[in-house]
Amino acid sequence: MRNIILAVALVVVITAGATFWLARQPCSWSGVDETVVEKYAEAAGRPARKPYINTDQGDLLLFCFLIAGAAGGFVSGYCFRELFPPKKGDNP
């Protein structure tokens, strides 16, 4: 348990520090889909069109990502437990 708390604290400190530093940088942090793929596509006269199922509306995309993250986390955790069962000495 102590190891978990230490690891959580370490992750929180590193993530907070990195996020604070990244947020202060004068960059837009656009994805390479915008800065490379769509840039060349537009130059060639083939701009990207909106997705057929457009979830990029307000908080809908955030909701979809949350569901996807939760589903992915659940599936990976479930399978992980099956493949790597706790050792006899481990606490449940």
Partner 1 sequence: MNIKKSIFIFLLMPLALPSTAQAMHISEGILPTQWALLWYAVAIPFVAWGLRDLRIKSAREPFFKPMVGLIGAAVFVISCMPIPVPMAGSCSHPCGTGMASILIGPAMTVLVSSIALLLQALFLSHGGLTTLGGNIVSMGIVGSLAGWSIFRLTRRLGLPAWGSAFLAGMLSDWATYAATSLELASALHGTGSMPKLLTAIGISFLPTQLPLGIFEGIVTAGVYCFIAARRPSLLECLGVERKRCACELCECEPKTGGVQ
Binding residues vs partner 1 (CB under 8 A): 1, 3-4, 7-8, 10-11, 22, 25, 27-41, 43-56, 61-62, 64-66, 68-73, 75-76, 78-80, 82-84, 86, 90-91
Q: Minimum distance between the CB of residue 87 and partner 1, rounded to whole angstroms?
A: 8
Q: Minimum distance between the CB of residue 16 and partner 1, rounded to whole angstroms?
A: 13
Burial string for 30-65 (b: 16+ CB within 10 Å, else e) reads eeeeeeeebeeeeeeeeeeeeeeeeeeeeeeeeeee
Half-sphere exposure of 73 (CA within 13 A, CB side): 6
Q: Minimum distance between the CB of residue 24 and partner 1, rounded to whole angstroms?
A: 11
